[in-house]
Amino acid sequence: MAQEIELPNGVILYDVPDDANDEQIKQEAIRMKVAVESDFPKAATNVGEDVLNTAGELAAGFNRGVGNVGDFFITDPINAASELMGSDTRIPSVSDAMGSMGMNEGNFMEPGIPRDLTRRAGEAGADALVAGGVIRRAAAAIPEVTGVAAL
Protein backbone atom coordinates (compact mmCIF):
# COMPACT_ATOMS: atom_id res chain seq x y z
CA MET A 1 0.00 0.00 0.00
CA ALA A 2 1.23 3.52 -0.78
CA GLN A 3 1.08 6.60 1.41
CA GLU A 4 1.03 10.38 1.13
CA ILE A 5 4.04 12.24 2.54
CA GLU A 6 4.22 15.98 3.16
CA LEU A 7 7.73 17.34 2.68
CA PRO A 8 9.17 20.03 5.00
CA ASN A 9 8.52 22.64 2.26
CA GLY A 10 4.80 21.75 2.15
CA VAL A 11 4.82 19.74 -1.10
CA ILE A 12 2.81 16.52 -0.87
CA LEU A 13 4.11 13.35 -2.49
CA TYR A 14 1.52 10.73 -3.43
CA ASP A 15 1.88 6.98 -3.86
CA VAL A 16 5.03 6.75 -1.74
CA PRO A 17 5.80 3.09 -0.95
CA ASP A 18 5.39 2.16 2.72
CA ASP A 19 8.89 0.74 2.86
CA ALA A 20 10.56 3.97 1.60
CA ASN A 21 12.85 5.49 4.22
CA ASP A 22 13.39 9.20 4.82
CA GLU A 23 16.60 9.35 2.78
CA GLN A 24 14.95 7.65 -0.22
CA ILE A 25 12.00 10.06 -0.03
CA LYS A 26 14.37 13.01 0.17
CA GLN A 27 16.44 11.86 -2.82
CA GLU A 28 13.33 11.18 -4.90
CA ALA A 29 11.88 14.62 -4.08
CA ILE A 30 15.16 16.28 -5.11
CA ARG A 31 15.31 14.18 -8.30
CA MET A 32 11.73 15.22 -9.14
CA LYS A 33 12.74 18.86 -8.49
CA VAL A 34 9.94 19.41 -5.97
CA ALA A 35 12.48 20.03 -3.19
CA VAL A 36 16.09 21.05 -2.65
CA GLU A 37 18.63 19.82 -0.11
CA SER A 38 18.12 22.82 2.19
CA ASP A 39 14.39 22.01 2.53
CA PHE A 40 15.25 19.03 4.72
CA PRO A 41 16.46 19.21 8.32
CA LYS A 42 20.10 18.41 8.88
CA ALA A 43 20.73 14.84 9.91
CA ALA A 44 21.57 14.26 13.54
CA THR A 45 25.27 14.27 14.29
CA ASN A 46 27.07 12.04 16.71
CA VAL A 47 27.73 13.17 20.25
CA GLY A 48 31.51 13.17 19.83
CA GLU A 49 31.30 15.62 16.95
CA ASP A 50 28.98 17.89 18.95
CA VAL A 51 31.36 17.86 21.91
CA LEU A 52 34.33 18.75 19.68
CA ASN A 53 32.39 21.54 17.97
CA THR A 54 31.34 22.97 21.33
CA ALA A 55 34.91 22.78 22.62
CA GLY A 56 36.17 24.50 19.46
CA GLU A 57 33.61 27.27 19.84
CA LEU A 58 34.54 27.71 23.52
CA ALA A 59 38.24 27.89 22.62
CA ALA A 60 37.58 30.48 19.92
CA GLY A 61 35.54 32.52 22.40
CA PHE A 62 38.31 32.22 24.98
CA ASN A 63 40.82 33.45 22.38
CA ARG A 64 38.57 36.43 21.61
CA GLY A 65 38.40 37.15 25.33
CA VAL A 66 42.19 36.99 25.64
CA GLY A 67 42.49 39.37 22.69
CA ASN A 68 40.02 41.79 24.27
CA VAL A 69 41.86 41.70 27.60
CA GLY A 70 45.17 42.23 25.77
CA ASP A 71 43.69 45.20 23.95
CA PHE A 72 42.37 46.67 27.21
CA PHE A 73 45.65 46.38 29.11
CA ILE A 74 48.23 46.72 26.31
CA THR A 75 47.32 48.18 22.95
CA ASP A 76 44.51 50.54 23.96
CA PRO A 77 46.61 52.44 26.56
CA ILE A 78 49.59 52.61 24.19
CA ASN A 79 47.44 53.89 21.33
CA ALA A 80 45.70 56.37 23.65
CA ALA A 81 49.08 57.71 24.85
CA SER A 82 50.26 57.94 21.26
CA GLU A 83 47.15 59.94 20.36
CA LEU A 84 47.60 62.25 23.36
CA MET A 85 51.16 62.95 22.20
CA GLY A 86 49.81 63.98 18.81
CA SER A 87 51.11 60.98 16.90
CA ASP A 88 49.11 59.20 14.21
CA THR A 89 51.09 56.00 14.80
CA ARG A 90 49.08 53.10 16.22
CA ILE A 91 50.04 49.56 17.07
CA PRO A 92 47.72 46.79 15.87
CA SER A 93 45.33 45.38 18.42
CA VAL A 94 45.90 41.97 19.94
CA SER A 95 42.43 40.83 18.87
CA ASP A 96 43.07 41.90 15.26
CA ALA A 97 46.37 40.03 15.25
CA MET A 98 44.72 36.90 16.63
CA GLY A 99 41.87 37.26 14.15
CA SER A 100 44.26 37.47 11.21
CA MET A 101 45.64 34.09 12.27
CA GLY A 102 42.14 32.61 12.54
CA MET A 103 42.52 31.99 16.27
CA ASN A 104 39.23 33.56 17.28
CA GLU A 105 36.97 32.82 14.34
CA GLY A 106 35.00 29.85 15.63
CA ASN A 107 31.99 28.87 13.48
CA PHE A 108 32.20 25.23 14.57
CA MET A 109 28.53 25.22 15.53
CA GLU A 110 25.43 26.14 13.56
CA PRO A 111 24.37 29.79 13.94
CA GLY A 112 21.89 30.38 16.73
CA ILE A 113 21.48 30.88 20.44
CA PRO A 114 23.52 27.81 21.54
CA ARG A 115 26.52 29.00 19.52
CA ASP A 116 26.15 32.56 20.80
CA LEU A 117 25.98 31.37 24.42
CA THR A 118 28.98 29.08 23.95
CA ARG A 119 31.01 31.92 22.45
CA ARG A 120 30.13 34.29 25.30
CA ALA A 121 31.02 31.62 27.87
CA GLY A 122 34.47 31.29 26.31
CA GLU A 123 34.97 35.04 26.31
CA ALA A 124 33.82 35.27 29.94
CA GLY A 125 36.32 32.54 30.87
CA ALA A 126 39.23 34.71 29.78
CA ASP A 127 37.81 37.69 31.68
CA ALA A 128 37.31 35.56 34.80
CA LEU A 129 40.91 34.33 34.72
CA VAL A 130 42.24 37.87 34.46
CA ALA A 131 39.90 39.17 37.16
CA GLY A 132 40.83 36.26 39.42
CA GLY A 133 44.51 37.01 38.98
CA VAL A 134 44.00 40.70 39.73
CA ILE A 135 42.01 39.90 42.87
CA ARG A 136 44.65 37.41 44.09
CA ARG A 137 47.44 39.94 43.59
CA ALA A 138 45.46 42.64 45.35
CA ALA A 139 44.70 40.32 48.26
CA ALA A 140 48.37 39.32 48.51
CA ALA A 141 49.34 43.01 48.71
CA ILE A 142 46.98 43.78 51.62
CA PRO A 143 49.49 42.80 54.34
CA GLU A 144 52.16 45.04 52.76
CA VAL A 145 49.84 48.00 52.42
CA THR A 146 48.25 47.72 55.86
CA GLY A 147 51.37 46.65 57.71
CA VAL A 148 49.59 43.57 59.04
CA ALA A 149 51.90 40.58 58.95
CA ALA A 150 50.65 37.43 57.38
CA LEU A 151 50.20 34.54 59.78
pLDDT in tens, 24-69: 988 999 999 999 988 887 766 678 888 899 999 999 999 999 998 8
Q: How far apart are CA 127 and CA 24, in angstroms?
A: 49
According to the model, what pLDDT value does residue 86 have? 94
Do 35 and 58 belong together in one domain? no
Do 35 and 70 belong together in one domain? no
Do 65 and 7 belong together in one domain? no
The range of the structural domain enclosing residue 140 comes to 48-146
- Indicate the average pLDDT of the chain: 86
Do 81 and 8 belong together in one domain? no
Q: How many CB atoms lie within 10 A of CB 93?
A: 17
Do 21 and 94 belong together in one domain? no
Do 93 and 24 belong together in one domain? no
Q: What is the 3-state secondary structure (H, E, C) of 70-91?
A: HHHHHHHHHHHHHHHCCCCCCC
Residue 56 lies in a domain: yes
pLDDT over 90 for what percent of the chain? 34
Residue 94 lies in a domain: yes
Lowest mean pLDDT segment, chosen from 16-30, 40-54, 87-101 = 40-54
Do 29 and 62 belong together in one domain? no
Lowest mean pLDDT segment, chosen from 37-51, 79-93, 136-150 = 136-150
9 or 150: which carries more pLDDT confidence? 9
Do 52 and 14 belong together in one domain? no
Do 142 and 87 belong together in one domain? yes
